[in-house]
Structure 1
């Protein structure tokens, strides 16, 4: 920081204020670039599909990669989550003498919160890291600049198929986590908690309605969209060689997790306002 006009060095307060201002301005500028990239990619999906220029091969390859790296971890995450919900909630409900409500608690906990959050975290960890690393490596090798020189828009060529793949894989992964979590919770409830199978599924179907499944799938799609936009933005803005790529990957993962938590809070509040829990 340069000295003041009168030649005196800046004070600590002025340094902190200047750094805070620079951080805020940089954050707002980055947010604007992320929004612009997301809008351009959404428009690109529509225009490329209409013009028959959509990169189907790139989308299928990215989608298969995302499934390969997240399917098994999704099951491994869903099973203990379903078990924990059944054990913890089951002990509480058992003390209240309402064992039959365990199915309702497990269904609401896994479907409305557990499955979409687990989906977002898996995609934000494995998916965001892979996409940011791939695009970051292309950026520092000047492949992105080469595409622009050849008249190829990197958003249409690289971002659009990755966004489509992520948005398609996210709800599929969400369904897999819901299924594995509910089955795990059911087995624990019936085998160790002493809940009858009929009462479990009866309360499960009474409190967990189709709208809850729709909210869960909608969350997963939004989380996948956020993850891919942030990963692409950090990857395409990587600078400084391999270290810049590593910094971009780290930023993509951290921003994805933070965004998922904040957006999930907002969506959950809106869902509780307009779709309150009720017996079907």
Structure 2
């Protein structure tokens, strides 16, 4: 076999192996999401859901995501306000700067900030915790005692991240809109009444509802990916670090891809209208 043919054969083998592995990983993620949702619902109905763990995890997710949310929302609001204000000033439409900046924060900024922070902070923590439990053989010990790790470990973590996601979304919206208003009024000579009226004319509760739904879906996807990578941690010195890295990257990329699909669907079925 010539070197060129050997290189092509290796490349073909790598592509096939990667595609098969990706499809298998996606299938396991779907199974984990379905099992966690089912077990969580059944445990809630039977009163066996680990409420104490859920509350502890929820508070932990809030503590690791709330400060970064504020720190990210302020510069994000400044950037959106400056870019939107510069564009509206060039075309002589400063009266709609509030709508341009506000809708950017609500429709795209808040859900994506929630996805990034949940994936980068909470998701990494969940993956490292579950990976460490696998390394210490705690997950195998739960199975030996007849306790399903999905019901005991995965379900409360997914529920905690899903509950916190709307809070992060609302916090981002409040901080982003407040910062945009201050920048527009104080530095871009936009009248306060004009800013508020233009925002009120274009924004609606539908936009906020869509943003909240998007943040919940992103949190669910990020949580499932983090739990899956944590439970599938292999033994070795770099195993936990590899699981955390994969959880953050895959979770954030999946959230961005899902955001693209949801944005296209909402644009088709909920077009922007002036109220």
TM class by shorter-chain length? over 0.9
For the residue of structure 2 that corresponds to 1:224, the secondary structure is: helix
Cα drift, residue 75 of structure 1:
0.7
User: Please, which of 34, 57, 62 is the counterpart of residue 62 of structure 1?
Assistant: 57
Q: How does 1:226-237 map to 2 (within 5 A)?
A: 226-237=221-232
* Equivalence for 2:23: 28
User: Please, which of 241, 245, 250 is the counterpart of residue 245 of structure 2?
Assistant: 250
Q: Deviations over 1:67-100 (max 9, x none)?
A: 1011011011111111111111101101211111
Q: How does 1:90-101 map to 2 (within 5 A)?
A: 90-101=85-96
Distance (Å, rounded) in 1 between the aligned partners of 2:78 and 2:194: 18
Distance (Å, rounded) in 2 between the aligned partners of 1:257 and 1:49: 29
TM-score (norm 1): 0.95
List structure 1 segments (4+ residues) > 2 angstroms apart after TM superposition: none
Cα drift, residue 176 of structure 1:
0.3
Q: How does 1:201-280 map to 2 (within 5 A)?
A: 201-280=196-275
Q: Deviations over 1:161-191 (max 9, x none)?
A: 0011010000111000000000000001111
* Equivalence for 1:83: 78
Q: How does 1:150-165 map to 2 (within 5 A)?
A: 150-165=145-160
Distance (Å, rounded) in 1 between the aligned partners of 2:13 and 2:73: 46
Q: Between 10-19 and 38-47, report the one with greater CA deviation.
A: 10-19
Q: Does 1:18 align with 2:19?
A: no
* Cα RMSD after superposing both structures: 1.1
For the residue of structure 1 that corresponds to 2:238, the secondary structure is: helix
Distance (Å, rounded) in 2 between the aligned partners of 1:173 and 1:194: 30
Q: Between 127-136 and 97-106, report the one with greater CA deviation.
A: 97-106
Cα drift, residue 12 of structure 1:
2.1
For the residue of structure 2 that corresponds to 1:238, the secondary structure is: coil
Tell me the matched-pair count.
272
For the residue of structure 1 that corresponds to 2:178, the secondary structure is: helix
Distance (Å, rounded) in 2 between the aligned partners of 1:212 and 1:178: 11
Distance (Å, rounded) in 1 between the aligned partners of 2:214 and 2:61: 18
- Structure 2 gaps of 5+ residues are none
* Equivalence for 2:135: 140
* Equivalence for 1:175: 170
User: Please, which of 119, 122, 125 is the counterpart of residue 120 of structure 2?
Assistant: 125
Q: Deviations over 1:97-152 (max 9, x none)?
A: 11110110011100000110011000010011000000000001110000000000
- Structure 1 gaps of 5+ residues are 5-9
Distance (Å, rounded) in 1 between the aligned partners of 2:200 and 2:156: 37
